[in-house]
Amino acid sequence: HFLVTQRKFPRMIREFIQNMERVYEESRDENFGVIVMNYASPLINVVTLLRQSKLKHWSVIDFGGPWEKTAAINVGIDSVKNPDDIIFITDLSIHYPAHLIDTIRKHTFKGYSGFAPIVFYYNCLLTLDLHDRQYFVGLYSITGFGLFSMYKSDWIVVGGMDSSQFKGVWGFEDNDLANRVLNSGYVLLRLITRDFYHQNHTYTGF
């Protein structure tokens, strides 16, 4: 399950769904799905977009009120009933290679590990001129743990996200999660994954 939170950014959720469609078409994997924690907006109908998509498995859980990312993620985790399912919390503005599904499966071990693949952040505002060619530059997010997978049964052991300490705020909730995973006796696996990168964006026009 790819689990994302969404609030009032129509283009970003459209691009995420298109990204997931591409992953499905390239991988032909019938066993992955999408869970959207949706802070409803009049700008976009997420259910309609998913119904019109090629994705086989998806669900939308609507929220009202102020944005609560950690609480929404916990509700999404709770919505998965099978303890043997893998839940991957992730972000909208990511380019997902088709091989990521198997990469997650191969590095997420029940009762043993959490997996936080290392994403590359492009900075499209900076370029490097080299040998008459121009390259975008960026960095690997070594200290970030916001993209994270565990089995449902292990999410229960860890306690999900800390929605009390990180209520209504953004930042460092992923580091807190990583610490609690380690303190619960799990191994934390990391891997640089080819073609897995954050797509630089602004919020203007979204």
Q: What's the confidence (pLDDT) of residue 104?
A: 97
Asked if residue 172 lies in contact with residue 143, where contact means CB atoms within 8 angstroms, the answer is no
Q: What's the confidence (pLDDT) of residue 144?
A: 84
> How confident is the prediction along the chain (206 residues), in pLDDT tens digits per residue?
999 998 877 888 999 999 999 999 999 999 999 999 998 777 788 999 999 999 999 999 998 877 788 999 999 999 999 999 999 999 988 999 999 999 999 999 999 999 999 998 876 545 545 555 555 667 788 888 989 999 999 999 999 999 877 776 667 889 999 999 999 999 999 999 888 988 765 544 44
Write out pLDDT tens, residues 55-102.
999 999 998 877 788 999 999 999 999 999 999 999 988 999 999 999
Q: How deeply is 65 buried, as exposed, middle or buried, from its count of CB atoms within 10 A (0-12, 13-18, 19+)?
A: exposed
pTM (2 decimals)? 0.89
Closest to 4 measured CA to CA, from 153, 146, 204, 119? 146
